[in-house]
């Protein structure tokens, strides 16, 4: 089973922050890091899960209502009197470019375009340009709940690694008919509603919902072998450090 850090090491650190990514980059044997991107009012790609900044920062409002300089002034509480900023995607790519010191440049990056609520105009072009600027095109997998966005990515970059997001794996396969040419399906782990034979040949990367910083871990461990028997090849975990 391949393990990914979901929003970085998001149980130990605030999700989608430089600290969460740096910690993930130290984990030997980690397959990759997953993160979420949104677009600011002035067209800058930033790393943030929600369309709004309210849950993760001290600000109020939608990412698309802030220009970059404004969003960078917001604080993400990181405990012990420390704060982080909403990362700019470019700084994350720069950090990631050389891989973690334990990873020798093999670590992958799953960039989830959060564009199914607001179909941010130009987001696909901007992220592909940035990924190429940092020479990371062979280490990046794009994903989105928007099949249209993934189809656009395929048109812009015929070689792009693409994973289709949906809750059920049958819906991931349905979206594939649109022609995005994904080689990976990204369902919720509870959404394995097809027999294993129907999904063989695809990477099946499953995501979970649940505890994130600063909630307490439950201590309950996932049975990765049982998930593998369902056809899951990879898992996105908030606590990858406990499994790798």
Which residues of this chain interact with ligand G3P, rule CB under 6 A?
A: 6, 34, 36, 49, 112, 143, 165, 186, 207, 236
Closest CB to ligand G3P among 36 and 124? 36
User: Nearest 5°: phi and psi at 62?
Assistant: -90, 145
How near is the Cβ of 34 to ligand G3P at its closest, in Å?
Answer: 5
The number of beta carbons lying within 10 Å of the beta carbon of residue 105 is: 11
Closest CB to ligand G3P among 127 and 165? 165
Q: Which of 23, 49, 152, 175 is catalytic?
A: 49
How near is the Cβ of 23 to Ca ion at its closest, in Å?
Answer: 17
Site for Ca ion, rule CB under 5 A:
36, 112
How near is the Cβ of 80 to ligand G3P at its closest, in Å?
Answer: 26
Closest CB to ligand G3P among 70 and 148? 148
CA distance 109 to 141: 6
Residue least distant from ligand G3P (Cβ): 207
Closest CB to ligand G3P among 12 and 98? 12
- What are the CA-CA distances from residue 244 to residues 11, 170, 227 (Å)? 15, 29, 16
**What are the beta bridge partners of residue 161?**
141
Q: 234 with 203: CB under 8 angstroms? A: yes
Place of tokens 């941010």: 120
For 168, half-sphere exposure in the C-beta direction (CA atoms, 13 angstrom radius) is: 6
Q: Is 49 a catalytic residue?
A: yes
Residue 52: name its binding partner from Ca ion, ligand G3P, none (Cβ under 5 to 8 Å by kind): none
Q: Which of 3, 4, 6, 124 is catalytic?
A: 6
Q: Is 211 a catalytic residue?
A: no
Closest CB to ligand G3P among 96 and 236? 236
Sign of the alpha-carbon dihedral angle for 75, 81, 87, 90: positive
CA distance 123 to 126: 5
User: What is the distance of C-alpha 148 from the center of its chain?
Assistant: 18
Residue 236: name its binding partner from ligand G3P, Ca ion, none (Cβ under 5 to 8 Å by kind): ligand G3P
For 204, half-sphere exposure in the C-beta direction (CA atoms, 13 angstrom radius) is: 28
How near is the Cβ of 90 to ligand G3P at its closest, in Å?
Answer: 21
Active site residues: 6, 49
């Amino acid at each position: 089973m391949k393990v990914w850090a979901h929003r970085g090491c998001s149980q130990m650190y605030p999700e989608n922050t430089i600290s969460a990514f740096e910690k993930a980059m130290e984990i030997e044997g980690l397959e990759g890091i997953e993160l979420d991107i949104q677009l600011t009012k002035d067209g800058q790609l930033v790393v943030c899960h929600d369309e709004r900044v309210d849950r993760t920062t001290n600000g109020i409002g939608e990412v698309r209502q802030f220009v970059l300089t404004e969003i960078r002034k917001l604080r993400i509480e990181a405990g012990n009197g420390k704060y982080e900023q909403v990362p700019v995607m470019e700084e994350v790519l720069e950090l990631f470019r050389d891989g973690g010191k334990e990873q020798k440049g093999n670590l992958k990056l799953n960039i989830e375009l959060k564009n199914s609520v607001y179909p941010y105009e130009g987001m696909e072009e901007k992220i592909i340009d940035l990924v190429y600027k940092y020479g990371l095109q062979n280490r990046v997998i794009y994903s989105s709940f928007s099949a249209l966005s993934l189809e656009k990515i395929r048109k812009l970059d015929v070689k792009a690694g693409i994973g289709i997001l949906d809750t059920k794996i049958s819906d991931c396969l349905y979206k594939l008919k649109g022609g995005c040419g994904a080689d990976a399906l990204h369902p919720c782990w509870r959404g394995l509603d097809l027999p294993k034979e129907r999904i063989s040949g695809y990477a099946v990367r499953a995501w979970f919902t649940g505890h994130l910083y600063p909630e307490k871990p439950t201590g309950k461990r996932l049975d990765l072998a049982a998930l593998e028997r369902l056809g899951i090849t990879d898992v996105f975990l908030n606590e990858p450090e406990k499994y790798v």
